[in-house]
Structure 1
Amino acid sequence: MSKHTKRNAPPSPAPKPAPFRYRDNNPQNLIPDLDDEQFDALTAVLRALAKGSYPRLDAVPLALNAYNCINNRGDDNDMPWAYFHTVTLVAPEGTPMKTRPIIELDEAIIEDLEKPWVPLRSGGGGGSRQDSARYRFLCFIHKHRIDRRATFQKGVHTISIWDREWDELTWHDTYHAHRSTRRLEIKSFWQSAVAAGLIGSSTTTSSSSPSRTTFMSRIRYRTVYHCSAHIEATLRGLVPPRNTLWAVMGAALFHMNGARDPQVSIVPDCLELFGGQARVLLPRFFVHLLCLCLDARPGWSREEQRGWVGRLRVVERVAWLGLRARELLELRGLVAGEGEGERDWICEVLKI
């Protein structure tokens, strides 16, 4: 192809958040074309949040990826994104690893890793990112096995976040019990993981894939979280290990909300984050997924919309979710307070 042809070639379409498909190439349209399986997965997460129960683990990464599709929050479309890999199971310390963990990144993510990242700390937060990298964070939720005699639950969740702003990975562990063991487990996990596009060979380094040795030297183990221990001391009872799933989601949303903050990896150690109760965490996540799903089904009648939303009624034990979700709906202009909002009926159906 000649230089003249390259100069006059039409620009490539603006990227849109993976792993979804979209109906058109309009960069302003971030409503994904959800298939039935994806729609059911997002619905399962919404139902769990509304009931105060644990979300379906395999659906959580997809739902967090959907949080990138934000076009009604007052932000421009140049907000850096985060990508969530499927949940990985971490082998218990001391047990032989039968196979090496496989990290298979979406093709769009591998392509993005090959693009230059414009550092935020050098004033790169503005301007178009069409020709530069869009994904700041690559996130990996892990499930560890724990054995505490007072509970039948065996799963503790942690999260590793690769930050392209600093070219380093931070591992967040919000649970206090057996933490040193999990640190050994996660170190062994990343030492063994096959992650094409993220980790190179032990001897070579490229601009997009650091060598294994370099990658391992860039891991930060963030364990200064004491909230779960304080709760146990206050209640004189055990905090279920599985509660860490909400904490992991809270930490993930904290990063995504602060994607333009160079130091966003300093996550506060507080109850609002451990339970995801802060308005900008699970309540905003709930509202965004709710509206996204409704927008993704434009052919639904009002009766079909009301029937689906009726499955997401917020129960009393998570009244805080309903209260903060209503505030966010009002801020979006979807609930006017006088019955003139675009979707005023939602609050009535949700019982909030």
Structure 2
Amino acid sequence: MYKNEFDKHIQNKSISNSFVFFGESSFLIDMYTKMLTNIENTNILSYYHDEYDFNSAKAHLSQGSLFGDRNILIIKSEKKVPKKELDILLELCDKNPDNIFVYAYYGSDHKTYNNKKAFAKTKAMNVRFFHPKEYEAQNIVFQLAQEKNVNIDKFTISHLLKIHNGDVALASNEIDKFRVYDKAITTKDVDNLVYGLASINLDDFIKKLLDKKDFRDDLLNILEHGEDEIRIISAITAYLTQLYMFNIYIRINGAPNALEILGYPAPSFIVEQKASAAIKIKPQTYSKLHELLLNSELQMKSSNVDKSAILLSSLIRLQKLL
């Protein structure tokens, strides 16, 4: 099953006591593992990566709980637990509903577990977690901010996520930096605290790039302050994707609606800027731009390449397509 269906089971209190989590988002795997095992008065046995030992894991779920407490087993690993061993551990949970077992698989072989028949003989719930969509990422970080009493709105959270290229884990870690401030956190605060230098702003750089202005000094400045070439390409891709969403919406409806396009209400001047930039680019050009950026990112991820040279060449070609 997927996250939405699993969330409904949690809300309806119809979840099992054994789980197999896998997928693209390590952050969500960690978040749901913690959520389901953060229980007081329990005996928790956790294995990380190569620590897993079947005999001791089996013994933990087989033994009677001490003083009426519950036994919880957590296995976190990029390596697959042998199917026979996994089935035995899941069966032990079926026999004792007081126990909880979470197998958090961080590997890339999703086909093994992305199958309803994989655990048909047990009550285990296998859940695949994809990377959160933009509005989901915002809600996750916003909820975390509320829990830590950080006053920050979703527009500023969106800015924070852009800085980290949509990485929810990195954005969530930044929330702790804001806890000492007894005021509303603004985008300027984010720039100062996250970048360390407010002058480094990828959005401003991308705007200059799309306006076909000379960007080379700005690019050099960004790279000198530690930005990664792949992250810059990814940020440009994400920015263009958002503009394309504005373009499509305006072509269909005649006017932009930030809530429907972005999933949150943005300031009017931001909406106007995005809409104005979006309609300047033809739909077929968006396709060419995305193809160029994705191919460039793929090249950068190859070994023994000059990423800076690929980046510069790609951005020059990008401006020629505009």
Q: TM-score range by the shorter chain?
A: under 0.3
Highest RCO, 1 vs 2 (Cα 8 Å, sep ≥ 6): 1
Q: Which structure has the highest helix share of the two?
A: 2
TM-score normalized by the length of structure 1: 0.25
TM-score (norm 2): 0.27
